[in-house]
Amino acid sequence: MTTMTRQLLPLLLAACSCLGPAQSRDRQGAEQEASSRPVIVLIGPAGAGKSTQAEFLKKKYGFAVISAEQLIEADPALLARSKQPEIHGVDPRTDPALNKIFAKVIEKTDTSKGLVLDGYPATKDHADFLAARAKERGLSRHLVIHLLIPDDAARQRIKDRIPAKVEQALKDYHRELDFVKLYYPDADIHEIDGTATPDAVSKAIAALVDARLKSAPKGAAK
């Protein structure tokens, strides 16, 4: 070992020892910040009150809200262009083109507090795309809230709709629920009695969200 090498070695070791903890602190800081910005996925049949509870979360916590209906209405022309003539009866809620619309919408959406999703993702393609976008924006792993009401109760709540559409809405709900359970086996999935009053449901949801936020490491942004 040369004299110069012996002189530089302690400096190099010191530099390396400082670099490791700094990188660790940066990583911990990013994790802390993400843990305070949850992605909340609301699951439930039509009439379960998802829109009501999404609005509650927006007002109480400042979370952004994006629904499948919002995405469909945002760019119907794109959905029309993406249709394949040989395929008929594709549900817009499961259309892969929703990913492009979601990318546009979330780019203009303030998710600094967190994000509430209703009806999206509905397919593996959606979920994969969402996972990548959530990671880019520093959002934490999903908290899935299932507003549980019996099918008959859901039918009663949306009885003014065309019967065929009521049954299709229930099929869509069960498909979405099965997908979420399969795709997110390690996610926090919590069932809440959707037959309770809206205020009672909101209180139960708030307890879940508060618990998630309190579990964030100290120093995480609120």
Cβ proximity of 166 and 158 under 8 Å: yes
d(CA 95, CA 26): 38
pLDDT for 221 equals 42
pLDDT for 10 equals 43
The domain spans of the chain are: 1-33, 36-214
Domain 36-214 indexed as CATH 3.40.50.300: yes
Q: Classify burial at 187, counting beta carbons within 10 Å of its beta carbon; exposed 0-12, middle 13-18, buried 19 or more.
A: middle
Handedness of CA 170, 173, 175, 177 (dihedral sign): negative
Residue keyed to tokens 């070791």 = 13
pLDDT for 104 equals 95
- Block means of pLDDT (10 residues each) for the chain, length 222 residues? 43 39 43 70 95 98 96 89 58 91 96 96 94 92 93 95 92 92 81 97 97 72 41
d(CA 180, CA 73): 23
Residue 139 is given by DSSP the state: -
pLDDT for 90 equals 64
